[in-house]
Chain A
Amino acid sequence: MSDPLAQVIAAEERGRSVLRVSGEVDMSNVAAVGEQLRAAAGDAPSVLVDLTELGFLDSQGLRMIQRFADELAGHGKKLIIVAPASGVVGSLLALTGMDKNLDIRQSPPQ
């Protein structure tokens, strides 16, 4: 897409797959972003999804993240989400109660 609404940048840091999502995620790109995350996560036993730079996320995006977390858990993998509580995504996760069953951090673990 010439003007992608969201970008996923993957990296591997200390044996962990780190996925940084920026831009916006809505109904139009949620499936594609979900695929990108699955692909980028690879076989790493631990995955960190950093949503600090994500400017918009709706309920469909939340569903995608929940599914992704469930899949990783099914494979015995661990998911860490970084989303500051003061940010758009962090406050949405808190609002919907998803912070209760996901491992959400205020900043990337050192």
Chain B
Amino acid sequence: MLELFNLPSDGTLSLSAALTSMIHPDDRGRYAAAVADALDPAGNRELRQDIRVLQAHGGYHWVAVTARANFEGDPPTPTRLVGVAADVTGRYAAEARRAFLFELSDALRSLTDPLEIKAHAVDLLGRHLMASRALYLDVVHEPDSDYYIAERDFHQPAVAGSVGRYRADDFGATLFAEVRAGRTITVTDVSTDPRLSEDERLAYPATGVRAFVTVPLVKDGSHAASLTLHQTAPRTWEPAEIALMEEVAERTWTAVERARAEQELRESELRFRELVEVTAQLVWVGRLDGSVEFANDNWLTSTGVEPAGNDHRSMLFIAAHPDDTDRLRADWAAAEAHGAAFEGELRLRQRTGEYRWFLVRIVPLHDGTGSVLKWFGVATDIDDRRRADDVLREQERRGQRSRARMELLADVIGELDRASTVEDGLRSLVGLLAPGFADRAAVTGTPDPAGIPIATGRDSAVTLVVAFDDPAGRPYLDEDLAFLEDLAARVGVALTGISIRQEEHRVALQLQRALLPRAIVSRPDAAVCAQYEAGSVALEVGGDWYDAFTLPDGRIAVTVGDVVGHGLDAAIAMGSLRVGIRALAPHSTGPGALLSQFDRFAVDVDGADFATACYAVYDPATRQLCYASAGHPPMLVVDAAGGTRWLTGGRSGPLNGNVDTDRPDATDTLEAGATLVLYSDGLIERRREPITVGLDRLEQAATGLHDLPIEDFCARLIDALGTDHQRTDDVVVLCLRPPSPRFRHELAPDAHELRRLRRSLTDWGAQRHVPAATMSRLLLAVGEAASNAIEHAYRDRSPATITVEADHEDGGDVVVIVTDAGSWRPAPREPGDRGRGTDIMRKVSAAYERTTTPAGTTVKLRFSKIGPAA
């Protein structure tokens, strides 16, 4: 009994002493009053009180005291108070626990601040369990150690507070391993606890801790918080106390977490609203039934479309640009069908009436099961960006167009440089403009207000009209017009230039044609052929002349000359000189003398400051040629076999106004079948090429063409020596060819004569320019005819002569006649072989004819250029 009151067993302690020292201060008054009542004789003389009594370990036990007072005497005087005391701590604890937990729950429920919850919980618990300190520690995991943070604590007035941050490892590695494992640590006395090291035993009392309990809260495998009670004196922690602590720790944790979550939610909602209202974006939330749950002020301010009462989709459609709504509707339907996010750029009408580009994102908000709860829409104004993009794109397009147009312009001007007529130039222009600039382009002679006028000459113009197939896809812009006007101006200048040159050229050409001989006619005793080529109009009209005429004595004069210069002046000078030569020639003693006289004449001709000329006189009777050259390239002779020689004699300087009275001449003899070639320097000259290269080229071409008839030779020589592009000058070629005589050959009836016959025929054929294929057929047939005659002669022993004659007929056929004095008879021995020779003659000739008379036999063979009859 006594130990209940923690009294010394010797009974020396008085009640008053016991009251003052043993009973919990809160209970002392009540207990003292109850005792006084029990001792009152007028009362019921009973004592029933539950009081807390200090225990040896420092804690209190609830003790139920039941006593009866004994009185003696009258008036009765209390003598003794006899009763029992029972330890009812367990019952009290259960009740107290229940009451405490109710109180705690009530207190914490109304709190929203986690800090407040923690503070309140430790305060209630500390008081309830009469701890020196109570702390709720949040655990922070740092790389070096865990840290415990106490934001608020409960402490007895005499005990120092413990708010702060603590390093977990400082509190004893052993114990804190337990804590981390989620096991509650109970220490009755730090100075004797064997789980603590010597240092730790000293460290704890320094902080005023002799006993403690720590309840760890391990959440998701991690030490999240602790509830700790400290006692400044050693204390034996009752299991009920520990259980209560664990309960409180758990409840506090739950309350703190709930508060935190609520706080976060509140904060996030707050942040959301704040964000949504301060943001430049238009934000709205649509419910599944289509109603607008929320739309920020920007929506209304920007679009003017009232969200209230509207469907959130139609709200967007109302604001969207009509051109964008179809796309929007389709995309939105797809997003809605899949519960997927919608994103698109579209124009939204503004309150002001203008449209601005927005990036619209509508994102579904899902519940836990994945069903769409709401649609969350955000529209971001990207109009400036779009405009900037458009500007950049437009600049890029303009840049590309501008570059393309510079190239087009360069192409057009380049083509016009090459064009020799206005028509060619316009054709090039139209061909380049479509498709280079437009889909279609045309020029018309009739003025068109929609077109661009282009000058084509001093007093003429055409109208350029361009068109685009798709004006929407390719608008007609100011810059297009500017380009066309610039183009028209440049083209006009170029075309006017062409037009002027064209006119000059046309006049000069007409004049030149008028001034040159109409036709050069061959004579029976000399074939003459001339070719003049101003060629295409791209060639300048030059001052070349040529002429061939018969002198009074029957000889033939030929001349080619060149007045330096181009155009009208040169053409006029050329005409004067040609006429001058014709006038002077009959009276001059020779070519050199003529050129000297001509020199004097040329001085008086305007525009003939510098000219070259060659002049030759050919005598058909002797085939003698007398020639002279005044600074002109040498004449060329190509013989019947293709051999060439330059006539380099009779040379003197050009006609340059300084009269040379002593110009020399020279002579040559033209073989049968040879060709004399006179030409102007345009035939041999090429830019950036020495004149000797041109002369070599002429020599080679002449050799290659030597067996052609003179007309072909003359024309082909010009072709062979270069195209229009390579030639910058006009060209004259004049050829003269003495005729070769008809063929006549007599042979004795001797087989060995046959080879000489063939040699003679071959030479004649070369002079007559008989083609090689024709010649080999001719040799074969004539050989057969001659062989027959010889054989016949052998047989008949008649030593008659065999005659072979050949000549060209009008029209170009070669006719050969083989005549003998005997008559052919079929050879009885070998009819097949005789037939074979005749067969050959028929087959290789165009016509075979045999006539036998008593005087002899004549075979006539015809060969055409085209080939045999068979």
Contact = CB atoms under 8 A, between A and B. Distances in A.
B752 interface: yes
Contacts of B833: 59-60, 63
Interface stretch (A10-18, A46-54, A73-81, A88-96): A88-96
Interface in B784-806: 784, 787, 790-791
B790 A27 contact: yes
Interface in A11-30: 24, 26-28
Interface size class of B (residues with CB under 8 A): 20 to 34
Given A24-B758, A60-B833, A95 B791 contact: no
A28 B836 contact: no
A28 B783 CA distance: 11
Given A59-B836, A63-B836, A92 B780 contact: yes
A62 interface: yes
A72 interface: no
Contacts of B840: 58-59, 92, 95-96
A56 interface: yes
Contacts of B844: 95
A40 interface: no
Interface string B582-623: 000000000000000000000000000000000000000000
Contact of B776 (A28, A88, A96): A88
B839 interface: yes
A5 interface: yes
A28 B839 contact: no
Contacts of A28: 750-752, 754-755
Interface residues of A, number: 15
A96 B839 contact: yes
Contact of A26 (B776, B783, B836, B839): B783
B783 A58 contact: yes
B258 interface: no
A62 B833 CA distance: 9
B513 interface: no
Contacts of B784: 58-59
Contacts of A95: 840, 843-844
A105 B442 CA distance: 65
A92 B780 CA distance: 9
A5 B752 CA distance: 9
Contacts of A59: 784, 787, 833, 836-837, 840
B516 interface: no
A19 B674 CA distance: 41
B174 to A, nearest CB: 109
Contacts of B751: 26-28
Given A58-B780, A88-B776, A26 B754 contact: yes
B779 interface: yes
Interface in B768-787: 776, 779-780, 783-784, 787
Interface string B458-473: 0000000000000000
B780 A27 contact: no
A56 B757 CA distance: 13
Nearest to A58: B783
A60 B830 CA distance: 11
Interface in A60-110: 60, 62-63, 88, 92, 95-96
A27 B776 CA distance: 17
A1 B833 CA distance: 27
A26 B756 CA distance: 12
Interface string B816-840: 0000000000000010010011011
B839 A27 contact: no
Contact of B837 (A5, A24, A58): A58
Contact of A56 (B752, B783, B790): B783
Contact of B755 (A26, A60, A62): A26
A18 to B, nearest CB: 26
Contact of A27 (B779, B787, B843): B787
Nearest to B837: A59
A60 B791 CA distance: 11
B773 to A, nearest CB: 9
A101 B556 CA distance: 59
Nearest to B838: A59
Contacts of B836: 59, 62-63, 96
A33 B836 CA distance: 20
Contacts of B787: 26-27, 58-60
A5 B783 CA distance: 15
A92 to B, nearest CB: 7
Contacts of A26: 751, 754-755, 783, 787
Contacts of A27: 751, 754, 787, 790-791
Contacts of A24: 755, 758
Which of A28, A58, A92 has its CB near the most chain B CB atoms (within 10 A)? Answer: A58
B791 A56 contact: no
A87 to B, nearest CB: 10
Which of A5, A28, A63 has its CB near the most chain B CB atoms (within 10 A)? Answer: A28
B167 to A, nearest CB: 106
A19 B671 CA distance: 41
B771 to A, nearest CB: 14
Interface in B500-517: none
A26 B750 CA distance: 12
A56 B756 CA distance: 13
B778 to A, nearest CB: 12
Nearest to A26: B754
Interface string B750-768: 1110110010000000000
Interface in B296-334: none
A5 B755 CA distance: 8
Contacts of B783: 26, 56, 58
Nearest to A88: B776
A26 B784 CA distance: 9
Nearest to A30: B751
Interface in B275-309: none
Contacts of A62: 836
B785 to A, nearest CB: 10
Nearest to A31: B751
A23 to B, nearest CB: 10
Contact of B758 (A56, A60, A92, A96): A56
A52 to B, nearest CB: 15
A92 B836 CA distance: 11
Nearest to A3: B755
Contacts of A60: 787, 833, 837
A74 B96 CA distance: 152
A56 B840 CA distance: 14
Interface in B707-756: 750-752, 754-755
Contacts of B776: 88
A86 to B, nearest CB: 10
Interface in B826-869: 830, 833, 836-837, 839-840, 843-844
Contacts of B839: 96
B661 to A, nearest CB: 57
B748 to A, nearest CB: 12
Given A27-B790, A27-B791, A28-B754, A56 B843 contact: no
Contacts of A58: 780, 783-784, 787, 837, 840
A45 B750 CA distance: 37
Interface in B458-498: none
A56 B844 CA distance: 14
A26 B787 CA distance: 8
Given A58-B837, A60-B787, 19 more contacts: A5-B755, A24-B758, A26-B751, A26-B754, A26-B783, A26-B787, A27-B787, A28-B751, A56-B758, A58-B783, A59-B784, A59-B833, A59-B837, A59-B840, A60-B837, A63-B833, A88-B780, A95-B843, A96-B836
18 contacts: A24-B755, A24-B758, A27-B787, A28-B752, A28-B754, A28-B755, A58-B780, A59-B784, A59-B837, A60-B837, A62-B836, A63-B830, A88-B776, A88-B780, A92-B840, A95-B840, A96-B836, A96-B843
**A-B pairs with the 3 shortest C-beta distances?**
A28-B751, A59-B837, A27-B751
